Amino acid sequence: MPGILGEVRALVTPAMDEALSRLSPEIRKVIDYHMGWRDADGRPVQRRGSKSVRPALAFLSARAGGGEFQGAVSGALAVEFLNNWAFLIDDVMDRDRFRRQRETAWVVFGEGQAICAGTALLTLAQQVLLESDSPTRLKALSLTMDTSARMLAGQTLDMTFERRFDYTVEESMTMTRSKTASLMRCATSIGAVLVGAEDKTVDALAEFGQCLGVAFQARDDMLGIWGTPDQTGGRPRGFDVKARKGTLPIALALNDEAHGSALREIFALPGELSQAHVERATELIVATGGREWTEDLARRMVAQATAAVEGLALPDDIRAHFGQLAAMGLPDDVAR
């Protein structure tokens, strides 16, 4: 969506600055660092634009719902804040020490500070919506609360996967839907809600985001096993296997009649997995057809997302953006 990112940032940046100005100085320091606006000592650095995908989706959603970008500013902020809340908290929980080539906030400021700053963003997302002047703001607020509740449920389920290797594919799918796809669902529908679109339109846009979110995650799950460091921002190949994550291809393999028990045995080994074990585990996942299955899932989800908005009377440029976005969920490059 390079065509609209300039416009998106021009609307989001001042509104975001205003919203963040109500945070306490101590929290603001963590947020400014996390966002890449200041260094650990509070000195301003060249702002690296965030990808702003979710705010952009909120704006497209407003246009798709018959309104204008301007009508979705509070929704764009809300999804951007929820997204960064999730980043801040996930990094603590996954013990990830780097994000976008920088040390993560909890490494710099401590776990407690990162968690409080993240939670402050969650609260701010809701305050911004409550104070918006859209007549349908309470519906948007309710959607956001429901989304954060889903994300928490998904994250909690995901954490149980670290301790047990008996989860089903359905449980992994529930986790994917709640933990990551629900935020995309919120982003693609909140703009339409805020401009007062009818339920049928909102529901179709929610389904679009939900399916696309699963497709993106399925593609990410493939990258987590077969992605090159080039494709994954420098992560070593197979890092999801090494971390014994409950991703979709791994859940499928763990439940495979022929190879599941061998994989469970590797996952049950104490301590960090050796490179040889990661490779053996990856072979087992391949042998179960986990790669093709996940690729196929991503394709089906992209198709289902596209179908969801097919019946909507969308402006041409919005339909084109949605088409490009859907294509980003296709796993062609991973599958090669």
Contact of 151 with 82, CB cutoff 8 Å: yes
Closer of 142 and 275 to a copy of itself (Cβ)? 142
Of the residues 4, 40, 152, 262, which one makes contact with a copy of itself according to CB under 8 A: 152
Q: By C-beta, is 131 or 317 nearer to a copy of itself?
A: 131
Query: Hey, which residues between 194 and 223 contact a copy of itself (CB under 8 A)?
Result: none
Site for a copy of itself in 13-52 (CB under 8 A): 22-24, 26-27, 30
| Minimum separation from the CB atom of position 32 to a copy of itself (A) | 14
DSSP for 79-92 reads: HHHHHHHHHHHHHH
CB of 82 to a copy of itself, least distance (A): 11
Amino acid identity of 62?
A: A
Q: Which residues contact 333 (CB under 8 A, 6 or more apart)?
A: 231
Cβ–Cβ < 8 Å for 124, 19 = yes
Rounded CA gap, 268 and 231, in Å? 29
CB-wise, 17 or 283, nearer to a copy of itself?
17
Among 145, 173, 262, 286, binds a copy of itself (CB under 8 A): 145
Phi-psi region at 50: left, alpha or beta (left = phi > 0; alpha = psi -120 to 50): beta
**Using CB under 8 A, which of 50, 136, 155, 304 touches a copy of itself?**
155
The structure tokens listed for 72 are 């979705």
8 Å CB contact between 266 and 250: no
How many residues belong to the chain?
336
Footprint of a copy of itself on 305-334 (CB under 8 A):
none
- Residue 123 touches a copy of itself, criterion: CB under 8 A: yes
Is 130 an interacting residue with respect to a copy of itself (CB under 8 A)? yes
Residue type, 6: G
What is the distance of C-alpha 325 from the center of its chain?
A: 14
In degrees, rounded to 5, the angle at the alpha carbon of residue 15 between the alpha carbons of residues 190 and 29 is: 110
The binding track of 61-100 with respect to a copy of itself, each residue x by CB under 8 A or -, is ----------------------------x--xx-------
Q: Which residues here bind a copy of itself, judged by CB under 8 A?
A: 22-24, 26-27, 30, 89, 92-93, 110-113, 115-117, 119-120, 122-124, 126-127, 130, 138, 141-142, 145-146, 148-149, 152-153, 155-157, 159-160, 178
